[in-house]
Amino acid sequence: MTRPGDEVSQTVVGGIHRRTRRNSMGETALLILMDVVMLEAAFLLTYWFRFYSGIWLIPLGIPPLDIYLIAGLVVLLVFFGIFYFSGMYTNRGGRSLEDDLLGLFKGVVLGSLLVLALAFFLRTLTFSRSFFGLFFLSTFFFLTLGRILARFVLRKVVAPGRGALRTLVIGRSPMRDRLLRLTRDFPGLAMTPVGWLEVSGEGDGGSTSAGSRLLDADGRSPLGEAMPELPLLGGIAEVRRVVEDQDIDLVVLTVSFANLPVVREVSAALANLNVDVHFVPDLPALHTSRMRLREIGGIPFISVREAALGEVDRIVKRSFDLATAGLGLLLLSPLLLVLSILVKLSSPGPVLYGQFRMGRDGREFRMLKFRSMRADAEKGSGPVWTVEEDPRVTPIGRFLRRSSLDELPQLWNVVCGDMSMVGPRPERRIFVEQFMQELPRYFERHRVRSGLTGWAQVHGLRGNTSIEERTYYDLHYIENWSLGLDIKILLRTLHHVLRGENAY
């Protein structure tokens, strides 16, 4: 079976079945080409703008273009090296636009510093400092435009699935459904599941932990998302036949820890076949969201749980919070004033509403919001969840909730140190105590400061949605924190706020 864009040959040498394949490299080539074109375009446009537009004074005259073209090639090599080693051309199809933007931003910053350092040491050549300043400012814009154009071409022009790895899934642990959801959310992912094999005795999934029950009886997530259907191709004993008949490139095992011997069995059954075999561990069964492989003295160690943010991480995160929240309060002060007036005129009561929430290490703090309900909203009902079309919400309050503008006063909570820009959303004590009884690891959300937005929220888990899945996403954030992840979440938050998902 030969697919478009691939070259396949199968031979039998000395009884050994060999299969070679050359996957299409069109996507990677397109990304590299687009980056090269955009970098050169930014360089040449900056040269024209600096020396020929007439806006800038040129007391020393216009420098020769050939010198700048040579410098442009050096800059191109520097940026290409940074993007290559940071993985900007790998994991094709599995990167979101936010991933690309963050990677481009970090690459431009690092590339700018390296180029400036290189220019400092090459004193025999004199370049306009204002030229390089303008170039670095324009580079991020041009590279971003290039990535958007490349994504458009790949999505609209390049045939779907071209060069993708035909994937066979074995087992049905909860991680299988997450894998299928990933292939659905990233249509360009270089992985096309063609079917799955059943492992005898595994039933409906090996793990029954709280973090693993993420699908209902209809195969839907708590958000109502149907999982992609996958045909059952047989049992584990037929793995070699299925791999050969279906022309499989990649075998992914998603079995429970109780069925770990299956990994060895599959590896042995596929001996001498040119096919990759990957094992995806059942993370929910371990109440964790990641595993890390380390080597100490030649011995591999698999870490399944580590401490939350270290001291250096906390300093970096707190500095980022202060800078971001402080700048936000400064820039948004006119908007905050207008919203305060609207809230005051909409209904009797204070402009701000303070509600005690449980934050880091179980400490309570007064979380601020623009008041969006009547002043006596909980007089008769007590603490209850807000529902869609809640009659207690005022007209201006409904707008504030839908646009998430009611959360803006929490920037002051961030400045005061009660909250962070990004982290698990805080809950009231009465709900925390209830959730702790239902979910074993729920309180671990409180190992870090609560956030104005979070990893769960940018995945649509806002308002009256599954606490179980929200907790799993929050734990994933805590265990995988980085400054880059915080920036990525803030970028995604802007997108989700505009869509108004589950905001009421």
> Domain holding 186: CATH number?
3.40.50
Q: Which of 356, 355, 351, 353 is nearest to 336 (CA)?
A: 351
Check if the beta carbon of residue 43 is closer than 8 Å to that of residue 75. yes
Task: Specify whether 344 is located in the same domain as 388.
Answer: yes
Do 63 and 176 fall into the same domain? no
pLDDT at 135: 83
Residue 222 or 190, more confident: 190
pLDDT tops 90 at residue 115: no
Is 422 contained in some domain? yes
Last residue of a domain, one of 138, 156, 174: 156
Q: Return the pLDDT at 127.
A: 66
Which tops the pLDDT comparison, 381 or 13? 381
418-452 pLDDT, tens digit each: 999 999 999 999 889 888 888 877 888 888 999 99
User: In sequence order, what are the residues at sequence separation of 6 or more whose Cβ sits closer than 8 angstroms to the Cβ of residue 228?
Assistant: 180, 181, 183, 184, 193
pLDDT bracket for residue 218 (50, 70, 90): very low
Q: Does residue 492 belong to any structural domain of this protein?
A: yes
Indicate the residue among 156, 172, 204 that finishes a domain: 156
| pLDDT over 80 at 408, yes or no | yes
In a domain, 17, yes or no: no
Whether residues 446 and 321 share a domain: the answer is yes
- Pairing between β-strand 165-170 and β-strand 450-453 as defined by DSSP bridges: unpaired
pLDDT of residue 384: 52
Q: Are residues 280 and 348 in the same domain?
A: no
- Do 213 and 65 fall into the same domain? no
Where residue 375 falls among pLDDT bands split at 50, 70, 90? low
**348 within some domain:** yes
In a domain, 180, yes or no: yes
Residues 182 and 119 in one domain: no
The verdict on residue 301 lying in a domain is: no
| Residue carrying the six token digits 């990525």 | 488
Q: What residue type is 390 in one-letter code?
A: D
Whether residue 4 lies inside any domain: the answer is no
Residue 120 above 50 pLDDT? yes
For residue 116, give its domain range.
26-156
Q: How many domains does the chain have?
A: 3
**Which of 409, 427, 408, 422 lies closest to 359, judged by CA?**
427
C-beta of residue 194 within 8 angstroms of C-beta of residue 248:
yes
> What's residue 329's pLDDT?
94
268 and 185 in one domain? yes
User: Is 450 found in the same domain as 329?
Assistant: yes
Cα atoms in the 13 Å half-sphere on the side-chain side of 77: 6
- Let me know if residue 417 belongs to a domain: yes
Closest CA to 132 of 54, 48, 43: 43
More confident residue, 488 or 377: 488
Same domain, 228 and 354: no
Same domain, 339 and 480: yes
Encode pLDDT of 147-189 as tens digits.
888 877 876 665 455 556 789 999 888 888 888 887 776 655 6
pTM (two decimals)? 0.54
In terms of Cβ atoms closer than 10 Å to its own Cβ (0-12, 13-18, 19+), residue 481 is buried
Percent over 90 (pLDDT), the chain: 19
Measured CA distances, 102 to 79, 109, 313 (Å): 15, 11, 19
Q: For residue 205, what pLDDT band results from cuts at 50, 70 and 90?
A: very low
Least confident of 69-83, 181-195, 403-417, 460-474: 181-195
Q: Are residues 182 and 152 both part of a single domain?
A: no
For residues 87 and 71, give the distance between their C-alpha atoms in angstroms, rounded to a whole number: 25
Q: How far apart are CA 302 and CA 122, in angstroms?
A: 46
Q: Is the pLDDT of residue 388 over 70?
A: no
Closest by Cα among 290, 311, 324, 312 to 453? 324
Same domain (yes/no): 225, 245: yes
pLDDT of residue 293: 76
